[in-house]
Structure 1
Amino acid sequence: MSDGKFIADTLESVIVGMAESLREAQEELASAAPLDGFGRPMPQYHIPHLDFEIGFRLVTETKSGGGMRLIFAPVTSSEKSSEVTSTISGRFVAVPPGEGLPLPVLAAEVTGSGNARTLAVAAANSAGETLVGAEVQVNVDLEASRALSAAAGVAAPKIAGQVSFGEAVLVTGPDGQASTSVTFSAALQRAAIVVLTLETGTETIRLTTGKDIA
């Protein structure tokens, strides 16, 4: 292997390792719960960029018996060596999801009262353009629903299987909107809080509803 190839491979390994560590750190930050136990939004963090500087001392050693090797240590008196000290600096920059293209944006509301509600959703993108034919998945966030219900004093909300949708996957029309029915069963506690999630692409929003929530 040539000296240049060895140096390039070594630096590549160091930089790729830094990039992987940065990605893992951002994933850990992104995994933080979006809501606290009372349904209040929690702070979200992201790493926009990371500046780095790598200093290294590279020694090329020629062995007395022939051959060469690259090391990071002093050489013996029977060996000839040349030494290079260098610094490499740079910046890792976060690339927005979609590589900078407009991202989907959802807006939704639940209307009605009692056990029968209507969920309406509107889809657009961050450039303000209406999204036609976009699929929006609707689900119940059981963990968040149970946590909020418990905080409201409902010990056994019986949420699993007690909330149904007319359609669980909505497709937006020419106006970028779609709607479906939301039905609460008789077994669902009146004071239970139900958290709905709506997802399309990278966008996820949450709504709270329930029998006693107007």
Structure 2
Amino acid sequence: MSSVNNALTLKQILLGISDSLNEAQNHLRNVKPYDEFGRPNTLYTLPYLDFNLQVEAEFEKETSTETQQSDALSPVSYPYESYPKKGYARAIAFKPVVNTTTDTKETNKVTSTISGRFVAVVPNEGLPQLIINAIPKKTGTHVYTINVEVINAAGEQISDALVEFNYNKQKTDLLNSNATLNHTTSFLNASEIRTDVNGKAAVQVKVDAVDFANGHILILEVNVGNVITKISIQK
């Protein structure tokens, strides 16, 4: 068994465990807080899950050896008439050397034990969830200013947060499946900027003139870490 197959198999096992763990946690999370009589139900959560896996890897090595054998005990006699050199009543001719190939296979097995733990992690490191408000505003010919405000679920403004802007070509193609686009939409000043003390930032984007004139939908993404919001620009 090759190392690639081992890695894929182990990956499938770990992903299967994590998927089952997520399904179990979602089921526990969806339990009603009260029963039909108004009494509070006991709610559970899965803080962690320990696991032990026994993995057996098998390695095979094939070798091929070639030997030469001469069968001297099996002479072949020719009559006088058929022997190529005349003058001999009978002659003895021996069989030629025979090449023999022998294949051997060596198998080794290695058994390993893999231990680990799946740990539940609070989203956003326990802090209130981030919220990105992004509004495009036309400020010139084929130029839009994207005004962004970053706050959290508690309403606090997040300063010095790194905001990234990207033009999503793949999503744009999906929304305009029957059209051929130029995809020259680009950001003028910067595609990354940090929010000010009020949690705000702004960048300018120049949309493709032909794509915009043809009424195509252009998709932009704004993200802070793993929090993403999408906006669309259309004529």
TM-score by length of 2: 0.49
Alignment root-mean-square deviation, CA: 3.2
Secondary structure of the 1:118 match is strand
Question: Using the alignment, how far apart are the partners of 2:205 and 2:224 within structure 1?
Answer: 19
Aligned to 1:48: 26
Q: Does 1:132 align with 2:155?
A: no
Per the alignment, in what secondary structure is the counterpart of residue 98 of structure 1?
helix
Aligned-residue offset at 1:137: 0.3
Contact 1:162–1:187 at 8 Å: present in 2 too?
A: no
TM-superposed CA distance for 1:125, in Å, is 1.2
1:1-214 pair list within 5 angstroms = 21-24=16-19, 48=26, 91-92=45-46, 95-112=121-138, 114-150=141-177, 154-159=178-183, 161-190=184-213, 191-210=215-234, 212=235
Query: Which structure 1 segments of 5+ residues have no match?
Result: 1-16, 30-45, 52-89
Q: Could you tell me which residue of structure 1 aligns to residue 116 of structure 2?
A: none
Partner Cα separation in structure 2 for residue 186 and residue 26 of structure 1: 49
Measured at CA, do residues 170 and 47 of structure 1 come closer, stay the same or move farther in structure 2, by a change above 3 Å? Answer: farther
Question: Could you say which structure has the larger radius of gyration?
Answer: 2
Secondary structure of the structure 1 residue equivalent to 2:123: coil
**Counterpart residue identity of residue 16, structure 2:** S
Q: Confirm or deny: 8 A CA contact 1:157 1:189 kept in the other structure.
A: no
Pick closer, same or farther for the CA change 1:196–1:138 going to 2, 3 Å.
same
Structure 2: runs of 5+ lacking an equivalent: 1-11, 30-43, 48-119
CA separation in 2, counterparts of 1:147 and 1:25? 32
CA distance in 1, matches of 2:144, 2:208: 12
Contact 1:158 1:189 in 2 (8 A): no
Partner Cα distance (2:201, 2:169) in 1: 24
Cα distance in 1, alignment partners of residues 175 and 149 from structure 2: 26
SS at match of 1:178: strand
Q: Give the C-alpha shift of residue 117 in structure 1.
A: 0.9
Runs of 4+ in structure 1 over 4 Å off = 17-20
SS at match of 1:180: strand
Q: Which amino acid aligns with 1:92?
A: L
Deviations 1:118-164 (A, max 9, x none): 100000112211100101100011111111122xxx511222x3333
In 2, are the aligned partners of 1:118 and 1:182 still within 8 Å (CA)? yes
Structure 1 residue 111: deviation in Å? 0.8
Taking the aligned partners of 1:19 and 1:201, their CA distance within structure 2 comes to 25
Deviates more, 1:111-120 or 1:101-110: 111-120
How many residue pairs match? The answer is 136
Q: Relative contact order, CA 8 A, sep 6+: which one is greater?
A: 1
Q: TM-score, normalised by structure 1?
A: 0.54
Q: CA deviation at 1:185?
A: 3.4
Say which SS state the counterpart of residue 126 (structure 2) adopts. Answer: coil
How many angstroms apart in 2 are the aligned matches of 1:205 and 1:117?
A: 17
Aligned residue number for residue 11 of structure 1: none
Between the aligned residues of both structures, percent identity stands at 21
